[in-house]
Amino acid sequence: MGRIELAIRYLALGDSYTIGTGASDESRSWPAIIAARLNAELTNPAVNGYTTLDLIRHELPLVKGLQPDLVSVLIGVNDLVQGRTPEQYRDSLRTIYEEVATLKLAAGRVAAVSIPTWAYAPAAADYGGAQKVDRLTSAFNAVAREEAKARDFTWVDIGPASTARIGSQGWIGADQLHPGDAQYAVWADAIWSAVRE
């Protein structure tokens, strides 16, 4: 009689970047790409427009409910565009990270992913322009990195991956804000490399 192999349970917490808004279909989102590489069972409750507060209310209960083997957290850009301060973001993010930390997963099994560099996207002009977006993104990422490191989560800075091929075909989605398939694929490679180490 053969052994039954249980699939890795992967929980991807986040917002539009995690659900893959801008991709041609769900299989092109970075969590779906990683799940396929791991042959994992993916639960992706992410929703467009979600802030950390929305994630706490609607996604965070899945941490205890699913008891995942791998968790990724990419959240914060909507806090930023809705005018929350970095300290307000820190308070909410701590709640999220503390709940994920209760799983006591092994090193490399929690990926805290940065907000991507998006100031170059044409739609950034609608949110105060490139300089403001860049400054706030850096401030929010500094908070997320500090909180992730305090819990020994794997910090994945996707800033370089999000700017690697600016201007190439499929880099930005049709909405001129979210990534396209090509960018999500590069993010997946960067995140995959970090969680495999």
Rounded Cα distance, 66 and 96, in Å: 15
Tell me the pTM. 0.95
Predicted local confidence at residue 196, as pLDDT: 79
Lowest mean pLDDT among 43-57, 100-114, 166-180: 166-180
pLDDT-derived band at 195 (thresholds 50, 70, 90) equals: confident
Residue 4 within a domain: no
CB of 55 within 8 A of CB of 13?
Answer: yes
Residue 3 within a domain: no
Residue 91 within a domain: yes
Average pLDDT over residues 126-139: 94
How many CA atoms lie less than 13 Å away from 160 in the CB half-sphere? 5
Buried/exposed code over 126-137 (b: 16+ C-beta within 10 A; e: otherwise): ebeeeeebeebb
Based on C-alpha coordinates, what's the Rg of the chain? Answer: 16
pLDDT-derived band at 2 (thresholds 50, 70, 90) equals: low
pLDDT, tens digit, 9 for 90 and up, residues 8-22: 999 999 999 999 999
Q: Which domain holds residue 190?
A: 9-196
Task: Answer yes or no: is pLDDT of 148 > 70.
Answer: yes
The closest of 139, 90, 83 to 115, measured between CA atoms, is 139
Instruction: Return the number of other C-beta atoms located less than 10 Å from residue 51's C-beta.
Output: 21
The closest of 92, 139, 132, 131 to 114, measured between CA atoms, is 139
CATH number at residue 104: 3.40.50.1110
The closest of 19, 6, 9 to 41, measured between CA atoms, is 9
- Total domains in the chain come to 1
Q: Which two tokens stand for residue 168?
A: 């190439």
pLDDT-derived band at 7 (thresholds 50, 70, 90) equals: confident
Q: Which are the contacts of 1, defined by CB distance < 8 A and separation ≥ 6?
A: none
Rounded Cα distance, 70 and 79, in Å: 24
Residue 140 within a domain: yes
